[in-house]
Amino acid sequence: AQKITQTQPGMFVQEKEAVTLDCTYDTSDQSYGLFWYKQPSSGEMIFLIYQGSYDEQNATEGRYSLNFQKARKSANLVISASQLGDSAMYFCAMREAFPSSGSARQLTFGSGTQLTVLP
């Protein structure tokens, strides 16, 4: 069974500073994918960044980067130069092994981290 752990229920960061949101996972699969999603107070789920278990380089998307440490089973999200609009709930998620059938599989989500950016 998969498990995603986000140990920080809430985080505060000053505007323009960087912040790291923690995520650890537990899986016996060798092939898996890790995702981060942002959920603003309006409720929608916004895809931010993806890391494959076999990717050698850490994923980056603009101000978002994923600090992937496979041996430690961690996939922390780093947001650089925080903006007020970054205030939201952030979810780490994992998808199980790439199936031979080719169809995608469901995500297992962590409990989320509420990030507040202070002016």
Partner 1 sequence: DSGVTQTPKHLITATGQRVTLRCSPRSGDLSVYWYQQSLDQGLQFLIQYYNGEERAKGNILERFSAQQFPDLHSELNLSSLELGDSALYFCASSVEANQPQHFGDGTRLSIL
Phi-psi region of 62 (alpha: psi -120 to 50; beta: other; left: phi over 0): left
Cβ pair 20, 76 in contact under 8 A: yes
Specify the amino acid at residue 94: M
Task: Kindly tell me which of 35 and 68 has the beta carbon lying closer to partner 1.
Answer: 35
To partner 1, the closest distance from the beta carbon of 111 in angstroms equals 6
Nearer to partner 1, 50 or 73 (CB): 50
Task: Report in angstroms how near the CB of residue 66 gets to partner 1 at its nearest.
Answer: 13
- Residue (78 or 107) nearer to partner 1, CB: 107
Binding site for partner 1 (CB under 8 A): 33, 35, 37, 43-47, 50, 52, 91, 95, 98-99, 101-109, 111-112
Least distance to partner 1, CB of residue 7, Å: 15
Cα gap 75→50, rounded to integer Å: 10
Q: Compute the distance between CA of residue 79 and CA of residue 21 in angstroms, rounded to an integer.
A: 8
